[in-house]
Amino acid sequence: RVENRMCRGLSIAICEDVPAERELLLSLARDWARGAGARVFLEAFASAEALVFHRAGGKEFDLLLLDIGMRGMSGMELARELRAQGCGAQIVFITGYADCMAEGYDVGALHYLLKPVSREKLFSVLDRARAHLPKPRRAVLLPCGDGAARLFAEEILYAEVFSHSMVFHADGTHFEARMTVAQAQAALGEGFVRCHRSYIVNLCRVRQIRKTDLLLDDGRTVPLARRAWPEVNRAFLALCREEIHEDP
C-alpha cells in the first residue's frame, strides 16, 4: 500500500510598512492562489521587527516578500538577520529603486519586484516559489512478519524475488515481505520499473543503463533483461529530461 500525502501549501510572509501596498500584496497573493489552485497561508507584518518577533515563536515560512525601504530595520537588514538565524525561506525583495538589486546576492534572493508591483510579475514569482518547494516524501508500507515496515520511496534501490517473497533493498537496510512481483510493483508505484522477471528498480537511483545490467548510485548492479531494455531506457531518459527541466 502506498501512503499518499497532499502537497503542502505555500506559506508566505509579507513585510510592508505601507498599509495600502501591504493589502495589495495580500489581495494579489489570494488571487494567484485561486487561479493556480494552490493552498496558500498568508501573514502580513507592518515592520521588520514584527516579523523577527513572530519567527522567535518558532514560525517558519516558505517565502518572504520583503519591502526594502521600510522605516526602522530595512528589508535588506531583515534578510541578513534572518539568514544569520538560519532561515532558509525563499526571499523576494520589493523596492522602488533598481540600483539596490546587487545587494540581494548576499542573502540568496529569489527575485526582485519593482513598485508598483504588477499582477503578472507577482504571479510569475509565486509560480517559481511554489516550484522550488521540496517535494513531499512518499512512503511505502510493506507487510513484514507480524507487522509492517515503512520505507520512503527515494530510499529504496530495488526489490528482488526471494523464494515466495520479495526483498526490498534500501539505504543501509533491507526488508522481506511475502508478496508477488506484481503486488510489489503496485505498492512501489510511480518511478519504479520491472527491469527483469525477478527485479524492480527505482529509476531515480540508476546512474547508468548498460546492455545487460543497471548501475545504481551506490555501486551495486541490477540485471536488465533484453526484452525490458527498450521500456527501461525510455523511462530513464524521460526521467533525466524531467530533472533537467526542473533544475533551477
For residue 242, the model assigns a pLDDT of 67
57: cell is 515563536
For residue 203, the model assigns a pLDDT of 94
For residue 70, the model assigns a pLDDT of 94
pLDDT digits (tens, 9 = 90+) for 102-137: 555 567 788 899 999 999 999 999 999 998 887 777
Q: Per the omega criterion (within 30 degrees of 0), is the bond before 116 cis?
A: yes
For residue 165, the model assigns a pLDDT of 92
For residue 202, the model assigns a pLDDT of 95
For residue 221, the model assigns a pLDDT of 96
pTM of the model: 0.59
For residue 3, the model assigns a pLDDT of 32
Q: What is the mean pLDDT of each run of 10 residues along the chain (248 residues)?
A: 47 96 96 91 96 88 94 93 91 82 66 92 93 82 80 92 93 89 91 95 93 94 96 89 52
